[in-house]
Amino acid sequence: MARRGLPLIALCTLLSFAYIHVSLEKHWLAEQPRLSSALTLLLSGFFCFILSFFTRLIPGAEDRIVHDTHQADDNIGLLSPSSPVEFKFRDTRPPLPERPDQLSLPIIVVLIVVRLEALHAVNLQRQCATTGIEPFLPFVLYVFDIFTTRRRWVGPDPLDPDDPWRNIFDDIREWFTGPRVSMSLTGVAIFFISWSTSMASGYKTPSGYACLHPIDSRANVVFLQVLGLTLDAVICVCLWRLLMWSRSAKQRIRSSGLVLVCSGLAMAVVSLVAAFWASNQETFDFGSWSLIDTVVDGFAFAVFVASGVWWMCETSAPVPATIITMCLGVWSSGYLTLYYGDWIRYSLSGAYFPLWFITFASILYIRYQAGIGKFLMVVLIGTTFIATFRASIRWRDAFPRHPLSDLIYKANIESDRYRARVATSKSLHVALSTYEELHPGRAAPPNFAEWYSQAQGTFVIDDFAQIDADLEPFWNMSPDTLRKGANILTSVPGVHTITIKDGQVTHSDAGDEGQNRDLLDLVQLIERFSVHLPDMVLPINLGSAPRILPSWETAHSKSTAEHISSGHIRYRENVAAKDYRRMQWAACPEDSAARRNVAWKNEELCEDCVKEHSKGPIIYDRDKSFETCSQPDLGYLHEFYMTNPKLAPIQEMLPLFSFAKTESFKDILIPLPRVMQDEEPDITWGFGRRFDSLFYQADLGKEMKSSQILRGSSKYRLLELLAGNHASGDVATVVIGEPLADFRYERVKVSEANKVGPLKVGLRGGDACEGDYCKLAKQLYGTDDEGAEPLEYRYIVVLDEADGPSKQFMRTLRSKSVPFVSTIFRTWYTERLQPWLHYVPIDPRFQSLHTTYLFFTGTEDRQTINGMDTNMQARTKDGEYIAQQGQKWADQVLQQKDMEVYLFRLLLEWGRLIDENREVVGFRKTDEGKLDNIGFSQGTVS
């Protein structure tokens, strides 16, 4: 058969592999793996049959394949020893194998099914996997080829084997004569290609999703990875044995399609059996399965299989595998070099070695395999030198000052700007002008003068950006629709009602003493200004979790009014965690990362998820850190996405007033007096007397329904990070500074980093939680029921709870301790607090925790870091300053008066939204310069 079309076939193989490689990381096999793989295989087989009709477009594809039974004697092997190296495409086909029997096809199908099951098992415990095993497939195939075609590597017979003057050097010289040189050098090249690719692709930062030794086994996962590698090699060899006897390229592709179809049917059977078996088993999946994605993946996989087996049969099994691995290794090592110097890739050897090894190994392999010209060799070497030079001049990030010192300094500047922005108005006229500047084309709400009078004595007067953001989507809905929507919500379970009628405020019976108290507190707050409000019905959500969760399409649809008018809303009584997670991703913009990439990929840190809000590993943009739609990895790193909601979300764009929400939800935020003020007072100790330790005590709770909570929730990941049994490969990134030297990033073992500064971490509430997972948590981290007082410590970690922000945050903020806050929830007061001035922000992935903590405690006279006495001085004064500023600012802008002013402003804006004449009513300045108040058109007594 002519081989003129082989370059095109190789290009198709490489391009389709590149797509599949990226697709696997996004969605393929991410959720419902057996079903999606069965459909993908079936579609791939169908597409292979279609592609077989287009083989005539490939030059030489229509030539009939003539099998020479004496190929083994004609030096046709993995490398053709007698072929001159100048040939661009050598005949590298191995000897024709024996004719396959009738069991060949079933055996291949069984191997593929077992391989996919092994892949599925590894994906379920990807956090325990070892990176860099799969790139050794070419070397395994090459070793197989060597042992199955040994006679091709026999050198010439000695001229005189009985020569008494022969020595060992003569034997060595003759052993390396002829084809053995090609065999040895090619083997060395393939090994270093595999090893370099393994090293480059394995340079990753762990995500923090825990591999727990009592329920997970690294050894088992590594065994499955090695088994998968072995099965890949066996499948390639069996396919090659089967397809080498095809009489044409068309028949080869159709035979490949038959294998795929049979494998797909077998996987479908396995999927059905597994579905029945797992009906009562714990299941937990990530990602979003899509039929369109499966069709596209099926076509790409069909192209890969069709072109790959064609290439393999025209050369040998190791050749396509080696070239693909080589391209992957060049890409990975080039990526390392390109981004060398940041906080993740700061190892000079880690950037240089993979690139140089794979460059020379690739040149050596291609030189003996395909005889490339000198020009391409010069290009490869030149590119390597340029990349190396670039990495050399771009030295790793170094800082004359600690990054946190800069952030604290900038936080003070930003706080001064905020103070000036929110407290500009010293008169009603200035306040009105400021409102009109911030809301072009819109008058202030009615009774604005009464609100301004009520706001006297508070600090924040001019900027209520959270109110504007919460209400903006509702301007697209008519007043009648909004009023009907509020009335509909009053009948939804878990929604309570506050009614304002003729200035009188009443509330519904919540059926719970605590919730009735919360409603009464809100009523008493509203009664201070209710005479200035129109009649309205306020649906109130007293739960910690937000409720309004329409999809992005629903939130921007004009059909909401029709749903509300019909009285039917989309609401489910019971929602599973995986469905809850899908709903939240569906509420994100169509071009967001959560919609584009929701794959189950938990073994490494999602760099794209943190780079927009972080400077290195440290949060510097608080507002962007709340954009959960750009951080799909939080789906397996935060308990909010991993547990069934206590109250099901409402999938319509309706007005519901809640205390907290994430980006996906459309609730309207309000203050709850109990959350803000019902806390124990601070202890009398000053900052200097408190223990110089980082404190965190997780509440075990009453139940734990999934082992995934132990692996992925914030509190257990933090316990595992600070108190777990770490493997030798678990590392953390810290910023260190030596005397008379710049600060820099350093990678250190987690177990060593935990010893540098004192820690006080543990579990509490062990008696209330029962079940196997509760027992496992107690076994891993122990329990401390002594009731330690957190405020006895200087630095306190405050994490979100399963369904909302921490209830301990306000107490910690009002104390003389420093809150280390990790949260994804916005509240009414979020915009009022300045990170790095009033509290210390911590990313939910905890990649900056050690750096942040050691900044305050220092490393002087403490445990060495990687054998170095860094002697970094403690910033105790900075810690005390943050504690003082947070306490002082909370007393200034988070008091009951501030809640009253915020709620008054919110309800004035809401009253205008539901007014039929909302474009007319308002408080504005007339052309004569007088202030004119056009009041609400209904139900106000003012």
**Largest separation between any pair of C-alpha atoms in the chain:** 123
Give residue 357's pLDDT.
85
Radius of gyration of the chain (CA): 34
449 has pLDDT over 70:
yes
154 has pLDDT over 60:
no
> Residue 454 — very low, low, confident or very high, per pLDDT cuts 50/70/90?
very high
Please give the share of the chain, as a percent, with pLDDT higher than 90: 48
Residue 798 phi, psi dihedral angles, 5° rounding: -120, 110
83 has pLDDT over 50:
no
Give residue 6's pLDDT.
79
Give residue 26's pLDDT.
61
Residue 619 phi, psi dihedral angles, 5° rounding: -65, 130
User: In terms of pLDDT, which residue wins out, 561 or 919?
Assistant: 919
The helix-helix angle for 218-243 and 291-314 (nearest 10°) equals 60
152 has pLDDT over 70:
no
Distance CA 491, CA 168 (A): 95
> Residue 101 — very low, low, confident or very high, per pLDDT cuts 50/70/90?
confident
Mean pLDDT score, 90-116: 80
- Contacts with 792 (C-beta within 8 Å, 6 or more apart), sequence order: 683, 685, 690, 691, 695
Mean pLDDT score, 901-909: 97
User: What token pair was written down for 524?
Assistant: 């008493």
User: In terms of pLDDT, which residue wins out, 88 or 467?
Assistant: 467
User: What token pair was written down for 838?
Assistant: 């009033």
456 has pLDDT over 50:
yes
Q: What is the average pLDDT score of the chain?
A: 84
Distance of CA 471 to the CA centre of its chain: 30
Of the listed ranges 196-210, 790-804, 811-825, 915-929, the least confidently predicted one is 196-210
Mean pLDDT score, 662-679: 89
508 has pLDDT over 60:
yes
**DSSP H or E stretch at residue 539:** strand 536-541
Give residue 251's pLDDT.
87
Whether the Cβ atoms of residue 831 and residue 625 lie closer than 8 Å to each other: no
Distance CA 458, CA 845 (A): 37
**pLDDT tens track for 10-57:** 889 999 999 888 876 665 445 677 888 888 899 999 999 998 888 777
Q: Residues, the chain, total?
A: 942
- Contacts with 884 (C-beta within 8 Å, 6 or more apart), sequence order: 687, 816
> Residue 391 — very low, low, confident or very high, per pLDDT cuts 50/70/90?
low
558 has pLDDT over 90:
no
Please give the share of the chain, as a percent, with pLDDT higher than 70: 83
What is the distance between the terminal CA atoms of the chain, rounded to a whole angstrom?
Answer: 94
Give residue 348's pLDDT.
65
- Contacts with 2 (C-beta within 8 Å, 6 or more apart), sequence order: 59, 60, 63
For residue 907, give Cα distances in angstroms to 677, 901, 912, 914. 21, 10, 8, 10
**pLDDT tens track for 419-432:** 999 998 999 999 99
Whether the Cβ atoms of residue 865 and residue 769 lie closer than 8 Å to each other: no
459 has pLDDT over 90:
yes
**DSSP H or E stretch at residue 230:** helix 218-243
Distance of CA 782 to the CA centre of its chain: 29
Give residue 289's pLDDT.
53
> Residue 87 — very low, low, confident or very high, per pLDDT cuts 50/70/90?
very low
299 has pLDDT over 90:
yes
Specify whether domain 682-896 bears CATH 1.10.287.
no
Mean pLDDT score, 784-789: 73
Question: Which residues make beta-bridge pairs with 618?
Answer: 615
> Residue 90 — very low, low, confident or very high, per pLDDT cuts 50/70/90?
very low
291 has pLDDT over 60:
yes
Span(s) in the chain for CATH 3.40.50: 682-896
Distance of CA 59 to the CA centre of its chain: 45
**pLDDT tens track for 628-653:** 999 999 998 999 999 999 999 999 99
Of 205-209, 463-467, 697-701, give the range with the top mean pLDDT.
463-467
> Residue 61 — very low, low, confident or very high, per pLDDT cuts 50/70/90?
low
